[in-house]
Amino acid sequence: MVVDDDLWSAVGDPIRRRMLDLLLSEGNGTATSLSEHLPVTRQAVAKHLVVLDRVGLVHATVAGREKQYRVDRTQLARAVAQLVDVGAAWDSRLRRIKRIAETIQRGRDAHDETGKNQ
């Protein structure tokens, strides 16, 4: 499993995740239109869009004086697939930890029962 740290760093920010949600629901947007729905300035939105563009989650096309951004669904699907892989790996680790903890507890219970019988 290969995890793209830059991609996950980009989607780790709640503002950027909200921006992706907005772009997905609207189909596209500009820094100005997105800033109307977010608790940050247009300039902050523009900086967040640069981060998302750098990792390929959005692509821009020039529309007059502004850039229209659209989500790259292929890259988003790649991010989702990575998240599923990471989740599956952690589920497997947690199951192993649980088995180890249960084995330790059974050993303690058996030891306690042995001590009571003496």
Asked, for residue 94, whether it belongs to a domain, the answer is: no
- Computed on alpha carbons and rounded to an integer, the radius of gyration of the chain in Å comes to 23
In whole angstroms, what is the distance from residue 32 CA to residue 46 CA? 8
Domain extent, residue 18, equals: 5-72
Asked, for residue 118, whether it belongs to a domain, the answer is: no
pLDDT one-digit tens code per residue, 49-71: 999 999 999 999 998 899 999 99
Asked, for residue 92, whether it belongs to a domain, the answer is: no
Which CATH number goes with the domain that contains 11? Answer: 1.10.10.10
Global confidence as pTM: 0.73
* pLDDT at residue 63, rounded to an integer: 82
In whole angstroms, what is the distance from residue 64 CA to residue 81 CA? 35
Asked, for residue 45, whether it belongs to a domain, the answer is: yes
Per-residue pLDDT band at 1 (split at 50, 70, 90): low
Asked, for residue 9, whether it belongs to a domain, the answer is: yes
For the chain, the domain total comes to: 1
Asked, for residue 29, whether it belongs to a domain, the answer is: yes
Assign residue 27 a region (left: φ > 0; alpha: ψ between -120 and 50; beta: otherwise): left
CB 39 within 8 A of CB 46: no
Asked, for residue 50, whether it belongs to a domain, the answer is: yes
Asked, for residue 84, whether it belongs to a domain, the answer is: no
